[in-house]
């Protein structure tokens, strides 16, 4: 049975601050109970609460405390920075409940910032190409998406945008469409006030954000359902 989300513990961010300072396995093991009670377990409650509420409104996003949360441990095998622990904890709710799908809600609770994002992040070559083609050939639909997001107080994040137009789209000249086609991701973000993570109202805030971002989910899903195979864009 799902435990209703009641907020992260008051020591959630102080724990991350202390972990950032210590960065030793011995310290983490000694304080694991604090990590679980203040941060990990409430995050699991949040994911499962959101999953239930998304099912009611038909958002097509779900998750659970076992599959959705990312590990606090860093993968340092190929990193110059060998610190073993992240300064944040994060989770994904997706169409199938795994971390492998596109069109997701990503929630990040970190030492520097807390935020949520609805994202088509690093879509595969065929899907990215199809999205770019949809922008170029059906600009009215894309502009309707941008208008809907703007009405919902959201806009696409330009992070990771290419500096030049990918091959095959040189014929597109409208400035707004060129900028969109250069995107490697299609993402809208919502900043979370760190002071608000301790309240059950955070779940309401994230449901509201995801509902406002639904036009982006719908746009991407309509394209994803017709993705051609064996096509790779210039990334």
| Cα–Cα distance for residue pair 177/142, rounded to 1 Å | 9
What CATH number is given for 12-224 in this structure? 3.30.930
Q: What is the pLDDT of residue 227?
A: 84
Q: How many beta carbons lie within 10 A of that of residue 210, not counting itself?
A: 23
Q: What is the pLDDT of residue 196?
A: 97
Looking up tokens 């807390």 gives 114
Q: What is the pLDDT of residue 235?
A: 44
Q: What is the layout of strands, in order, in the sheet containing 114-120?
A: 88-93, 104-110, 114-120, 186-192
Q: What are the structural domain ranges in the chain? A: 12-224
Query: Which among 108, 132, 133, 106 has a CA at the least distance from the CA of 121?
Result: 106
Q: Is pTM beyond 0.85 here? A: yes
What tokens does 210 get?
């995801």
Using an 8 Å Cβ cutoff, are 66 and 45 in contact?
no
What tokens does 189 get?
């973000």
Q: What is the pLDDT of residue 76?
A: 80
Using an 8 Å Cβ cutoff, are 65 and 56 in contact?
no
pLDDT per residue over 114-138, tens digit each? 999 999 999 999 999 999 999 999 9
Using an 8 Å Cβ cutoff, are 11 and 38 in contact?
yes
Q: What is the pLDDT of residue 228?
A: 60
Kindly tell me the number of DSSP H helices and DSSP E strands found in the chain. Answer: 9, 4
Q: What is the pLDDT of residue 79?
A: 79
Using an 8 Å Cβ cutoff, are 111 and 87 in contact?
yes
Using an 8 Å Cβ cutoff, are 232 and 168 in contact?
no
Q: What is the pLDDT of residue 1?
A: 62
pLDDT-flagged residues of the chain (< 70): 1, 228-235
| Cα–Cα distance for residue pair 187/199, rounded to 1 Å | 26
Reduced to 3 states (helix: H, G, I; strand: E, B; else coil), residue 186 is strand
């Amino acid at each position: 049975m799902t435990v209703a989300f009641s907020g992260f513990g008051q020591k959630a961010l102080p724990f991350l601050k202390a972990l950032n300072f210590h960065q030793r396995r011995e310290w983490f093991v000694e304080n694991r109970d604090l990590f679980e009670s203040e941060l990990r377990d409430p995050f699991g409650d949040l994911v499962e609460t959101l999953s239930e509420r998304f099912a009611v409104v038909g958002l097509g996003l779900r998750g659970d405390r076992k599959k959705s949360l990312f590990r606090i441990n860093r993968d340092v095998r190929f990193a110059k920075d060998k610190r073993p622990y992240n300064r944040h904890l994060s989770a994904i709710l997706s169409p199938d409940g795994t971390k492998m799908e596109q069109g997701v809600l990503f929630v990040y609770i970190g030492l520097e910032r807390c935020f949520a994002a609805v994202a088509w992040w690093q879509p595969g070559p065929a899907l990215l190409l199809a999205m770019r083609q949809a922008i170029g050939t059906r600009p009215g639909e894309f502009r309707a998406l941008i208008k809907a997001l703007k009405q919902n107080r959201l806009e696409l994040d330009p992070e990771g945008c290419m500096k030049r137009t990918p091959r095959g789209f040189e014929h597109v000249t409208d400035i707004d469409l060129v900028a969109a086609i250069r995107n490697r991701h299609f993402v809208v973000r919502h900043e979370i006030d760190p002071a608000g993570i301790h309240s059950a109202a955070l779940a309401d805030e994230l449901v509201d954000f995801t509902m406002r971002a639904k036009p982006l989910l719908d746009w991407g899903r309509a394209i994803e359902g017709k993705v051609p195979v064996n096509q790779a864009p210039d990334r």
